[in-house]
Amino acid sequence: MPTSVTARATAGPSEPFTQVTIERRDLGPHDVKIKVHYAGICHSDIHTGRDEWAGTHFPLVPGHEVAGTVEEVGEAVTKVKVGDRVGVGVMVDSCGECGACTDGQEQFCERGMVEQYNSRGYDGHWHDGGYSTHTVVKDHFVCHIPEGIGLDVAAPLMCAGITTYSPLKRWGAGPGKRVGVVGLGGLGHMAVKLAVAMGAEVAVLSRTAAKADDAAALGAQHFLNTSEAGALKAHRASFDLIINTVSAPLDMSGLLDLLRRGGAVVNVGAPPADTTIPIHPFSLIQGDKVWAGSMIGGIARTQEMLDFCAEHGIGADIELISADEIDTAWDRVVDSDVRYRFVIDAATI
Ligand code: NAP
Ligand code: ZN
């Protein structure tokens, strides 16, 4: 018999969250049952919950930044044991056999990975996300949260952490490299912490002047106020890598203009479904530049990121909330009024 657990769900794009009972499946041989301690609020939860990417299945239990402890394991599970501190991110299943999966890029599984929420499992059932007291997921998608990182500040690493760590690694952030981070929100503040820990020189590009002191406290050497006319002029051709976390469409040619020869702007921000961003190819041609995208990261890379965070004493900067505050928290995220990730205390769900 599936287990009934408590969760918070929204019934439609403008509906408030309510307490609901959902079912978690019986444990298969490779399943892990996790007691959720904390669940981060990612802006993707909001894009999905407000149907900004189109095609949301309601009622929706969002949440793909889960940190908790293992409560029960299936008979074939060896990766974790009861009591372990663990995290689950965006992915909860993939085929495990295609080129992407065997390359450690499960997020691009050719059969289609299964996400924590708004996604059907290979058994045909919709999977509910982490705004819940418990979840059941396949062992491969469970990562170890090292001792030394609190579970509350670890939860956002499972999406915001890996989504920024992955392109920083791929594009070689490190000593001698100048990295720009556009938008100081959940992803942005993690990008700054991680790039600083990798040894890069980091600049925050933000439209919110009030975040300048925070940017410095996070370790950024520079703060460029993008709402000031001409603020970027002095920084033309000076960055090796720019991570753009903003979901609103920005002037991409303007960002490409900030790159040195051979540099890359990597988009992780994910605009609404009908968005297009015009750029003239000359913005890329002149200086051999790259406009790239990046999506979360594979499971091995996610574990590597967690170990890196433990080694460097990195967790997210969070505002801990109760489950009754989710609606207010979502509005505050949309207003860029979060320092820098809301995390739900699952004991209040
Ligand atoms: P967030 O906490 O809301 O941060 C976004 C930041 O962007 C804001 O704090 C704000 O920073 C800036 N911003 C917001 N609206 C803006 C506008 N209209 N113009 C310019 N700047 C604006 O969101 P998040 O959780 O970090 O997520 C950011 C985006 O990444 C979302 O679209 C999310 O869906 C996406 N995402 C993608 C992946 C992936 O795998 N690629 C994974 C997770 C999330 P300032 O106040 O500093 O300007
Ligand atoms: Zn996310």
Give the 3-state DSSP-derived string for 301-326, with helices as H, strands as E and coil as C: HHHHHHHHHHHHCCCCCEEEECHHHH
The structural domains of the chain, with segments of one domain joined by +, span 3-159+298-348, 161-293
The encoded tokens of residue 306 equal 């967690």
- 161-293 topology per CATH: Rossmann fold (3.40.50)
Assess whether the region 3-159+298-348 and the region 161-293 belong to the same CATH fold: no
**DSSP annotation string for 21-84:** EEEEPPP-TTEEEEEEEEEE--HHHHHHHTTSSS---SSB-----EEEEEEEE-TT--S--TT-
Question: CA–CA separation, 134 vs 71, rounded Å?
Answer: 9
Strands 66-73 and 31-40: antiparallel
* Ligand 1 atom having least distance to the Cα of 336: 9
Question: CA–CA separation, 42 vs 45, rounded Å?
Answer: 5
Binding site membership of 208 for ligand 1 (Cβ less than 6 Å): yes
Please tell me the residue having the least CA distance from ligand 1 atom 12.
Answer: 183
Binding site membership of 329 for ligand 1 (Cβ less than 6 Å): no
Binding site membership of 268 for ligand 1 (Cβ less than 6 Å): yes
CATH node for 3-159+298-348 = 3.90.180.10
Q: Model-level pTM?
A: 0.98
Residue-by-residue pLDDT tens, the chain, 349 positions: 689 999 999 999 999 999 999 999 999 999 999 999 999 999 999 999 999 999 999 999 999 999 999 999 999 999 999 999 999 999 999 999 999 999 999 999 999 999 999 999 999 999 999 999 999 999 999 999 999 999 999 999 999 999 999 999 999 999 999 999 999 999 999 999 999 999 999 999 999 999 999 999 999 999 999 999 888 989 999 999 999 999 999 999 999 999 999 999 999 999 988 899 999 999 999 999 999 999 999 999 999 999 999 999 999 999 999 999 999 999 999 999 999 999 999 999 9
Q: What is the dihedral of CA 165, 171, 172, 178, to 10 degrees?
A: -90
- Within 10 Å of residue 102's Cβ, how many Cβ atoms? 11
